[in-house]
Structure formats: structure tokens, C-alpha cells
Chains A and B, each alone.
Chain A
């Protein structure tokens, strides 16, 4: 677990985003236990109160749930997980589209560029796997 924190953004929001990303890519699985507030604070070297706040928000958003005194777990609602995934994709696309439209590049060129970039990344990945 490693987050590079942006010093100008609330730490708890960055922690939540990190969890969402991990859930979206399946690194954190549905029903999986998550570290205690203290453990996570210690691992990320951040304030336990901040972790507490992040967990509280995540609980309210239905990302995690806590059963009595047991450790908190990632939600088992697959619908919620799908939502998270979609909202992350949405966010990324929004950001991308935002930037690209401000550069006023024609649609066709954008598609081509994205295509070739993705192909390039794919090749790199394959090379790495070799």
C-alpha cells in the first residue's frame, strides 16, 4: 500500500480515492477485510483521525461496512462496486475530454492518438511480460 499524497488536497479524500481505485481494479475484493484505523495510519504515516474520517465517509457511501466489533470489510454489494468502477471511469473520461477539448483537436485525430497510445502501452506490457 503506497500513496503519494498531494499536499494540497484533503488527505481523507485521497485515501477514499485510493480505496475506490483498488476496489475498481479488483485489488481489494468484495468482502475483504481492510486494515484497522491505526494500522492504516501507521502504514501511510498519516494521522489516525484522518483515517477515521475516511472510513466514516466510506461507510456512509456504502464502500465498506462494519459488523459490530469485527474489522471493517469491503462491501459485498456487487452493484455498488460496479458503480464505483463506473464513476471512476466517468471521472477519468471527463478529465480527459475536458483537457482535449480545450486543445481543440479534431475527434478523428483524438481517436487515432488514443488508439496508437493504447497499442504502444500494450506492446510495452507484453515486452515486460517476456
Chain B
């Protein structure tokens, strides 16, 4: 167990430089978005209220209050989230392949560590989950800081400040990533984790059987996909007998079973089939 912690720490540190760059990019792009919005609105206020003499109340009626909530769905806010998501997705693949690729093949070292090899699997999975949750926590923490920028530029009379909950609720991606109900949280991340586990297994199939493995892995992936969506196929056959939530729970159960099967299979591959 102590070694598992060290493995996770090791995997975490290997991605840390890129991860820090990602976090910096999120802050810088979103801050740029806030600044752009703030200065644009400020110049509008100056134009309308100061120069043209339109009353403040009239302006607010026409334009609404200035709030960070207005830009949370803008390009500069969603772009870094998409960049981060894509980067982490690519890293889900690269977290394995980097150990085989290049002149220095680190996979020798990893496979020769005195730990059960499935722990390598779980340590990489844990690292990915830490990156995802870390990113979300960071985004939540950054929002009030961004609001401070707005506060510095826009006078209080024109502003509608949001609480953190308020900001999360008006941020489409965060609403999905941090659902209000705990059960939704479990379901979202359950599916996400299952997805990563199945992808890991596909990678290990390819790494074990190489060229032949590419086809086996694709087959495995498609099979898993069909199984997860099989409740909907069933729904068509029984002509809409199930409620939507029932279908979701069926999918969830299938995802959990698939994850368990994938972990067992990966364990087998790592112990018996993997090659350096």
C-alpha cells in the first residue's frame, strides 16, 4: 500500500510540468476573457452614461447587470476547459505508451518493481482521476479570483456579484462536472472512470498482442460500447417499456461490470501477456 502511494506520486510528478502549464493556461485565458469583457462593458458605460447622459437605471434595464455569469459560457472560458479535457484524454493513452516509446524504455523498470502489476494500472488510473478532480477544484477556486478582476474594473452599482454556487450553476461545463446531487456525481464519474478503465485495457491488449492486438482492442472497445448502449436497444425491442432512469441505471450497472471484467483482464495481460 505504501508502494502504491509512491507509484501514484511518481505518475503524478511525471505529468506535473504539463499539468501546471494547463492550469496556467486555464487561468490566463479566462482572465483574458474577464478583462476583455470588463473593459468592453466599462467603455460602454463611459460612452452611454458619462457621455450621452443616459441614466444608470436605464442603462441597467437595457444591458442588464454586469456579472461574471454572463461570460462563463463564452469562448475564452470554455476553450481552456476543452483544451484541458483533450490534453488529459490524450494523456490517458500516453500515460502507458510513454513507458514503451523512445530510446529509454521505462516499462522494464515498472514491470520489475516488487509490486503486483495491477497496481501500475491502478496508479495510472488514480493519477488520471487526480488530474481531473484537481482541474475541477482549481477551476472552482479560480472563479472568485476572476470575479475580483471584474470588481476592480466595474463600479459596484453596475455589478451583480455571484456566490461560488451561483457561478457553478451558470457555468455549463461545471454544472456537468460538479452536479448538485451526489448521485449524479457518482454516475458521471462512474461512467468516466469506466471509460478510462476500458481504454487502459484496450491499450494493454495492443501492448500484449501488438499488431494483432490493434484489431482485438478495437473489437473490445466496440463491444464495450455496444454493451453500454444495449439498454437502449432493449428499449426499442420492448417498445419503450422502461423509464429513462431505469435505462440509465442499467447502463451504469453494465459499466461497472465491464470495468470489473476489464480490471481482471488487464491483470491477466500484465502478468502473463505483456511484453517490453
A and B touch in the complex (CB under 8 A): no
Which A residues contact B (CB, under 8 angstroms)?
A: none
